[in-house]
Amino acid sequence: MEREVSLTTSRQVAQALSGNGCRCRLIDPADYLSPQALLEAILSSTPDIVFNGLHGGAGEDGRLQALLELAGIPFTGSRHAASAIAMDKLASQRLAECVGLATPQTFSLRPADNPAGAIAALGFPLVVKPNNGGSSVGITIVDNADDMAAAIDLARRCDSHVLLQRFIDGRELTVTILDQSPLPVVEIKPCAGWYDYKHKYTKGETVYEAPAVLEPGEVQTLQQQALAIYQAMGCEGYARIDFRSDDEANYFLEVNTLPGLTPLSLTPMAATEAGYTFQKLLETIIGVALRADWPSPFNSEQTTKQPTHKELP
């Protein structure tokens, strides 16, 4: 599922950058049998930078980032540590709590664990989700005990570590951080049900309000909370932070370190509202990465690698 989103994002990015005079090569990791073969393909292009358009899996969980870091190749988005923490939903939730954010009551369910205690504590409805994953794949909102076994089985197809979480009946709000600055808040309103994979990537299934209709103080609070977890996690370049909000609090859900850049994606919507063209959004993401320090991992003096890039047109 996320492969199709990755392909769409990458085509959009390549088309926009090529149209602005940049030399681009699309590389699909699925075409290579090993990380070494993929790395050799990347190196053969002598890139100034890798624009990471992958979502989910090894492209977003820190593995590709670690490979590129070890090779000393600059790339867009967060580095391996922040990417790994963000992909681990329980770890990112614990970090959010450390910086004072509210989070839904959550129980960790390993393969040998009995979910009965968690179900009794949470009640229905509740959310069953894989601890690692994205694009709402493997997630179920469960209304009764009869559906629990199937929901847990679905989540375990994505990850053996499953989370049971209190369902927050409130507004779904998201904040993109771009170059350390929060963009306008976007509200997500599925036309029916909840914001699952179908509603995310099917035109007409969801209404988006950009900017969200909120009081100025509410906007400022959400933006401050998003920036707090972004910085605590060590994210770089850009990321999107998702919340569910009710009358009590803004509940942190997750950090997306590689938000989608498709026609229906939330980060371009927020950027447009802030006055960015899609081209300017991409240039900003690339510019942040090119300004960053890229020390050689094998140099004890941590000499910074100086990429031989040209300025964007």
DSSP characters over 22-43: -------GGG-SSHHHHHHHHH
Residue 301 among the catalytic residues: no
Q: Is the pLDDT of residue 64 over 50?
A: yes
> Mean pLDDT lowest for which of 65-74, 119-128, 177-186, 300-309?
300-309
Residue 92 among the catalytic residues: no
In which band, very low, low, confident or very high, does the pLDDT at 4 lie, cut at 50, 70 and 90? confident
Which of 166, 190, 209 marks a domain boundary? 166
Please tell me which residue in 135, 245, 250, 265 is annotated as part of the active site: 135
Please tell me which residue in 6, 10, 256, 265 is annotated as part of the active site: 256
Quote the pLDDT of residue 299. 59
Residues 38 and 148 placed together within one structural domain of the fold: no
Residue 13, SS3 per DSSP = helix
281 is a domain residue: no
Residue 201 among the catalytic residues: yes
For 200, what's the count of Cα atoms within 13 Å in the CB-facing half-sphere?
19
Share of the chain above pLDDT 90, in %: 77
Give the residue from 51, 45, 42 showing the smallest Cα distance to 70.
Answer: 42
Q: Phi and psi at residue 75, in whole multiples of 5°?
A: -150, 160
How large is the average pLDDT for residues 138-162?
93
Domain count, the chain: 3
One-character DSSP codes across 146-197: GGHHHHHHHHHTT-SSEEEEE---SEEEEEEEETTEEPPPEEEEESSS---H
How large is the average pLDDT for residues 71-83?
96
90 is a domain residue: yes
Residues 173 and 243 placed together within one structural domain of the fold: yes
Please tell me which residue in 2, 196, 236, 283 is annotated as part of the active site: 2
How many other C-beta atoms can be found within 10 angstroms of the C-beta atom of residue 181? 12
Residues 185 and 94 placed together within one structural domain of the fold: yes
Q: Is the pLDDT of residue 197 over 60?
A: no
Q: Is the pLDDT of residue 190 over 50?
A: yes
Give the rounded distance of the alpha carbon of 239 from its chain centre.
6
Encoded tokens for 83: 């990417």
Quote the pLDDT of residue 308. 46
Residue 52 among the catalytic residues: no
User: Is the preceding peptide bond at 211 cis, omega within 30 degrees of 0?
Assistant: yes
Question: Is 55 or 97 the better-scoring residue by pLDDT?
Answer: 97
Residue 32 among the catalytic residues: no
Quick one: 211 exposed, middle or buried, by C-beta within 10 A (0-12, 13-18, 19+)? middle
Q: Is the pLDDT of residue 73 over 80?
A: yes
In which band, very low, low, confident or very high, does the pLDDT at 195 lie, cut at 50, 70 and 90? low
Residues 19 and 32 placed together within one structural domain of the fold: yes
Please tell me which residue in 138, 240, 244, 251 is annotated as part of the active site: 240
Residue 113 among the catalytic residues: no
Q: Which residues contact 7 (CB under 8 A, 6 or more apart)?
A: 28
Question: Which contiguous run of DSSP H or E holds residue 122?
Answer: helix 116-122
Residue 136, SS3 per DSSP = coil
How large is the average pLDDT for residues 274-299?
89
> Mean pLDDT lowest for which of 30-44, 135-149, 180-194, 298-312?
298-312
Please tell me which residue in 250, 254, 265, 283 is annotated as part of the active site: 254
Q: Which residues contact 8 (CB under 8 A, 6 or more apart)?
A: 260, 262, 263
Quote the pLDDT of residue 120. 95
How many residues does the structure list for the chain? 313
Check if the beta carbon of residue 246 is closer than 8 Å to that of residue 293: no
Residue 260 among the catalytic residues: yes
**What CATH number corresponds to the domain at position 189?**
3.30.470.20
How large is the average pLDDT for residues 24-31?
95
Quote the pLDDT of residue 306. 46
Which residue segment(s) compose the domain that 25 sits in?
A: 2-76
pLDDT in tens, 249-286: 999 999 999 998 987 789 999 999 999 999 999 999 99
Distance CA 252, CA 170 (A): 12
Q: Phi and psi at residue 273, in whole multiples of 5°?
A: -65, -30
Quote the pLDDT of residue 257. 96
**What CATH number corresponds to the domain at position 118?**
3.30.1490.20
How large is the average pLDDT for residues 9-32?
94
Please tell me which residue in 10, 56, 201, 250 is annotated as part of the active site: 201
Average pLDDT for the chain? 90
Residue 115, SS3 per DSSP = coil
Q: Is the pLDDT of residue 192 over 70?
A: no
Quote the pLDDT of residue 305. 45
Residues 138 and 212 placed together within one structural domain of the fold: no
Residue 131 among the catalytic residues: no
Residues 91 and 190 placed together within one structural domain of the fold: yes
Please tell me which residue in 61, 172, 196, 242 is annotated as part of the active site: 242
Residues 213 and 152 placed together within one structural domain of the fold: no
Residues 156 and 197 placed together within one structural domain of the fold: no
